[in-house]
Structure 1
Amino acid sequence: MRILYNLGMILLDWLMKIGSKRSDKLKLAVKGREKTFESIKSFREIQSGKLVWFHVASLGEYLQAKPVIAAFKKQHPHWVVAVSFFSPSGYEQVIKKKQEWVDFICYLPIDSPKNAHQFIDLLSPDMAFFIKYDLWANHIFAAKKRKIPLYLVAASFRAEQVYFAWYGGFFKKLLACFDHIFVQNEASQELLERAGLKSISLTGDPRFDNVYKTSLQPKLFPEIAQGITQKVMVLGSVWQEDMDNLIPFINQSKNLQFIIAPHDINAGVIENWQKAITLPSIKYSEFSKVGQPTAWNILIIDNIGMLSSLYQFAQWAYIGGAMGKGLHNILEPLAFGIPVLFGPLKKVSKFPEAGISNQNGCGFTVKDEREVKTVMEKLSQPAHYEQACQAAKNLVNDNLGSAERTIEIIMIETWKEE
């Protein structure tokens, strides 16, 4: 299996390079990796102290890592923090500005044995964290060979995953490399224990810590606030499948204002949505720059990076992706204490937060335009609305502290070993 895995990495490298000729995203991924080793070497020549390495797949996993990084730095303020990304959609956004607590950011090289050993030797971490699911065998084996403490944080497993299949011995061995695995839910803990793995702790999802912090200190957008005259619904990370159900509701809702944040900023798609929406709409890039208030019924956010703070203006939210590649972050609006709607999930077990929000009465699955209208009519009634808002607040408050619990357990284990 290890031979097949390494052949797969060769194929992955080749496919990414071929694909980079047609895909801007792959082009960024390939080009960014060309300078990884050089940038690590230069960084470690300047920062040679103790280093903790966090690996994340993309932006969502980085947001899970952020509160863990903060909790770690409270205990080890003099350690250097390095973060590696696999996906350019995470790396390219995060690298744009200085990240609190983070000293170095890079791409993870393609997971060949040679790349993995070179990466670990150059970075020379004293401790390593992998977030949620992005596990690369050769990098993990290389770190284990050097006796670097390894931790898997915010892990969420499903019975159908390869780790628990009869042919999954290679991948189970991968999980066994971790000194401790911190899981989000009881189902994951039970799966790992039945597989014979040890040193497992149920500490929850650190995303709750991150979204709660954002809700306390959202970015301010006075130019948006000045144009609000009615109640607002934010449609976050929406795709065409979502808008097919939402546009009829928007066109019937003259007493509401909508902020629409597409998942992909595509000028052609946005133009088509504007044509289909009968109410006046404006793109954020068209806002007046002279300080005059801009009136709007439908505001379309045609940039990246604003969404997590836009929920401060909303009474309701709809989060997209459930009917496509996967549900986006519903915890962000819940942290602002508002109910959230989303489409029917293709893989329910992959997004446990959706089911939890359904059970708690603050998340609502809507499969078509009729259900959007029905749920919104109910949530427009004061008693139902207040109940859903309180449920959202309770859900978030009850799940805070995952990052602190994770680092506390690691500190106790480290102290025992010393």
Structure 2
Amino acid sequence: MYEIVISLYTLGVAVMSLFNDKVKKMWRGEREAFRVLRNSVDPGSRYVWFHAASLGEFEQGRPIMERLRREHPELKILLTFFSPSGYEVRKNYEGADIICYLPLDTYFNARRFLNLVHPEVAFFIKYEFWWNYLHILKRRNVPVYSVSSIFRPNQVFFRWYGRTYSNVLKCFTRFFVQNEVSRQLLAKLGITEVEITGDTRFDRVLQIKSQAKSLPIVEAFRQDYKVFVAGSSWPPDEDIFIKYFNVRDDWKLIIAPHVIGEDHLQQILSKLKGKAVRYTEATPESVADAKILIIDCFGLLSSIYGYGHVSYVGGGFGVGIHNVLEAAVWNIPVIFGPNNERFQEAQDLLASGGGRQIDGYQQFESLINSYIADDSLRKADGDKAAQYVSSKAGATGKILSAVKF
């Protein structure tokens, strides 16, 4: 049954690649992966394989890869992605020796891939559970670890119709999960090689903060103003905070939209009142008197939060909120929309007081007004956010201390 599903999926991807550029990149990348491996794998080297679905999972695996490289320079790292949104952004990442797409999980592809690489250890980040790859790794006695994984009762593994597929979980040598609920759910399937280590993203955001570089354009824009930073925003988010800051001149606004496309950028610009400058077109002189700075490129948001006094993380009125930890680590309050129940860190931030949920414009207006009127309240919420992040650090060390190379 699984092979039939994968075959149908493969056919669907092939057809969609004719009409969608993102799918086309994935389709081509998966087919080119074998050529990349043939040309790059050194048969005399020892490889550790990390697989991340996309960019978010990569960030979770990154602290482990970088610490592994420092502590075991004799090992080489293979990094694979499933999604173009991960591969296209990190294909030149210097922390890995080989980077490519993961070919679709047919038995033939999995066997061919593993015959080329011969990994000594494999790490699958968070949600990746590929039947053929994992079963072949198990048969070859290759240790496989699931990192920063999190499980919920409504997942297929814990439904009556998913019992057969749940056997894929028994291919893992050990699970490093985020919480107690995940441990209990796995125990119901008879899986006991489980350790609650938390999420490696906490280590990653602390690392980003410690290595943050100054951004002269953002510094010239901020000056002595208070700054509201909206990260990974979507149109429903923008309708709320733009409406508010359009009528305030005492704060400046930085918008880093989730989708950086010309149509979306023009849509944002059409809603704004006051001088707005795009980051890629900015100079220190041109942003000095601007009211809004639009970040129209990737890779800056995690550092830009450091220039803010209050943050907003988008997605909570649609697809689900994005990375709240990147903002929280900078000692600033984190605001987000109502679609956050599936995100443990958002729930924890709400409980700690470092995060605030808003359901619409009126709540947003009331909250920001309270922060402006009471600076000590704003700072206290920001400190709670940062304290929460610090309290959850250390997953990377726990994981690597349990893995033998």
Give the TM-score of the pair, scaled to structure 2. Answer: 0.96
Pick one of 41, 44, 58 that aligns with 1:48: 44
Give the distance between the partners of 1:402 and 1:272, measured in 2 at CA: 41
Matched, 1:279 2:279: no
Q: Do 1:58 and 1:87's aligned partners in 2 also have CA atoms closer than 8 Å?
A: yes
Pick one of 236, 243, 246 that aligns with 1:248: 243
- Code of the residue aligned with 1:341 in structure 2: it is I
Matched, 1:310 2:304: yes
Matched, 1:259 2:249: no
Pick one of 352, 375, 378 that aligns with 2:370: 378
Q: Do 2:145 and 2:172's aligned partners in 1 also have CA atoms closer than 8 Å?
A: yes
Q: Report the Cα offset of residue 55 of structure 1.
A: 0.5
The equivalent residue for 1:10 is 7
Pick one of 331, 354, 361 that aligns with 1:362: 354
Q: Report the Cα offset of residue 383 of structure 1.
A: 2.2
How many aligned positions are there?
A: 402
Q: Do 2:331 and 2:379's aligned partners in 1 also have CA atoms closer than 8 Å?
A: no
Matched, 1:352 2:344: yes
Give the distance between the partners of 2:380 and 2:285, measured in 1 at CA: 37
**Deviations 1:223-273, CA, capped at 9 Å, x for gaps:** 221121311111000011211222211212221111101111121221122
**Deviations 1:196-230, CA, capped at 9 Å, x for gaps:** 21110000000000011111112331122112131
Q: Do 1:40 and 1:122's aligned partners in 2 also have CA atoms closer than 8 Å?
A: yes
- Code of the residue aligned with 1:176 in structure 2: it is K
- SS of the residue corresponding to residue 45 of structure 2 reads coil
- SS of the residue corresponding to residue 252 of structure 2 reads strand
Matched, 1:341 2:335: yes
Give the distance between the partners of 1:254 and 1:212, measured in 2 at CA: 33
- SS of the residue corresponding to residue 355 of structure 1 reads helix
The equivalent residue for 1:90 is 86
Pick one of 162, 165, 172 that aligns with 2:156: 162
Give the distance between the partners of 2:214 and 2:6, measured in 1 at CA: 44
Give the distance between the partners of 1:261 and 1:219, measured in 2 at CA: 18
Give the distance between the partners of 2:385 and 2:105, measured in 1 at CA: 40
Matched, 1:135 2:132: no
Q: Report the Cα offset of residue 163 of structure 1.
A: 0.8
RMSD: 1.4
Q: Do 2:277 and 2:294's aligned partners in 1 also have CA atoms closer than 8 Å?
A: yes
- Code of the residue aligned with 1:162 in structure 2: it is V
**Deviations 1:256-292, CA, capped at 9 Å, x for gaps:** 111101111121221122121122211112213xx64
Give the distance between the partners of 1:354 and 1:108, measured in 2 at CA: 30
The equivalent residue for 1:232 is 227
- Code of the residue aligned with 2:62 in structure 1: it is K
Where do 5+ consecutive residues of structure 2 fail to align? none
Q: Do 2:180 and 2:196's aligned partners in 1 also have CA atoms closer than 8 Å?
A: yes
Matched, 1:63 2:59: yes
Matched, 1:199 2:193: yes
Where do 5+ consecutive residues of structure 1 fail to align? none
The equivalent residue for 1:81 is 77
Q: Report the Cα offset of residue 336 of structure 1.
A: 1.1
- Code of the residue aligned with 2:235 in structure 1: it is Q
Give the distance between the partners of 1:252 and 1:344, measured in 2 at CA: 25
**Deviations 1:276-323, CA, capped at 9 Å, x for gaps:** 1122211112213xx645322101111112111111110111001122
1:318-329 to structure 2, matched below 5 A, reads 318-329=312-323
**Deviations 1:60-85, CA, capped at 9 Å, x for gaps:** 00000011112333442211111110
Give the TM-score of the pair, scaled to structure 1. Answer: 0.93
Q: Report the Cα offset of residue 86 of structure 1.
A: 0.2
Pick closer, same or farther for the CA change 1:227–1:384 going to 2, 3 Å. Answer: same
Pick closer, same or farther for the CA change 1:278–1:293 going to 2, 3 Å. Answer: closer
Q: Do 1:223 and 1:293's aligned partners in 2 also have CA atoms closer than 8 Å?
A: no
Give the distance between the partners of 2:266 and 2:156, measured in 1 at CA: 42
Pick closer, same or farther for the CA change 1:98–1:153 going to 2, 3 Å. Answer: closer
Give the distance between the partners of 1:244 and 1:226, measured in 2 at CA: 26
Give the distance between the partners of 1:259 and 1:7, measured in 2 at CA: 48
- Code of the residue aligned with 2:109 in structure 1: it is N
Matched, 1:117 2:111: yes
Q: Do 1:150 and 1:177's aligned partners in 2 also have CA atoms closer than 8 Å?
A: yes
Give the distance between the partners of 1:323 and 1:120, measured in 2 at CA: 41
Q: Report the Cα offset of residue 325 of structure 1.
A: 1.7
Identical columns (%): 34
Q: Do 1:47 and 1:80's aligned partners in 2 also have CA atoms closer than 8 Å?
A: no
- Code of the residue aligned with 2:366 in structure 1: it is T
